[in-house]
Structure 1
Amino acid sequence: MPATPHVRALRLAPLFAALGALAGCASAGGNKAAEPSAQVNALYAQLDQASKGYDTALQQAREGNAQASQQTLSSSLEQLKRASAQCGNSPGCDPQRFFAVYDRLLRLKDGSFSLGDDVEVSGEQTPEGSATAGKTGAASLPQAQRSVTLLHGQKLSELIAMNGPVKAALEMWLTQWRSSLMDAYVNYQYMRYQMWPAYQSRDLPEAVLFGIMAKESGGKVHAVSRSGAAGPLQFMYATGLRFGLTSDGGFDERFDPALAARANAEYLDEQLGIFNNNLEVTLAAYNGGEGRMRRLVGDDTAVSFYDPRIYNQLSQETRDYVPAVLAAAWLFLHPDSYNLRFPKVDGVPGNVTLKRPASLSELTVCLGSAGGMESGWFRTLRNLNPRVDPQAALPSGTRLVVPKLLEQPYAARCADGPWPILANDLHTAVIPVVAAAPEPAPSRSSSTKSRSYTVKRGDTLVGIVRKLGCSDVQEVAQLNGIRQQHIKPGQTLKLPACR
Structure 2
Amino acid sequence: MKNQSSPGILEILLIFLFLAAGAGCAGEYRYVTPEKKQAKKPPSQQAVPGPAPSLPAPEPVPDPEPAPAPRAATPASGEKSSQEMLDSALGFCQASDDFWEHGDLDNAIDALDQAYSLILKIGADNPPEIQQQKEDLRVTISRRILEVYASRHTVANGDHKVIPLEMNSHVERALKLFQGKERKFFISAYRRSGRYRPAIVKALKAAGLPEELSWLPLIESGFKVRAMSRARALGLWQFIASTGYKFGLKRDRWTDERMDPDKATRAAIAYLKELHQIFGDWTTVLAAYNCGEGTVLRQIRTQKINYLDNFWDLYGKLPWETAFYVPRFLAVLHIVNDPGAYGFTLPPVDAPVETESVTIDKQVHLKTMARYLSVPYGLLRDLNPELRRNSTPDRPYALKLPKGKGAVLLARLGDIPVWRPPRVAYVRHKVRKGESLSVIARRYRTSIRAIMAMNRLKSSRYIKAGWTLKIPTRRSRRALSSPPPAPPAYKIKGKYAEYVVRNGDSLWRIAKQFGTTTEAIQSLNHLDTADLRIGQILTIPRGIPELARIKTRKYRVLKGDSPYTIAQKNQMKLSEFLRLNHLTPRSTIFPGQILLVKTE
- Indicate whether the TM-score tops 0.5: no
TM-score for both structures, normalised by structure 2: 0.35
Q: Considering only CA atoms, is the larger Rg found in Structure 1 or Structure 2? A: 1
TM-score for both structures, normalised by structure 1: 0.42
Greater helix fraction, Structure 1 or Structure 2? 1
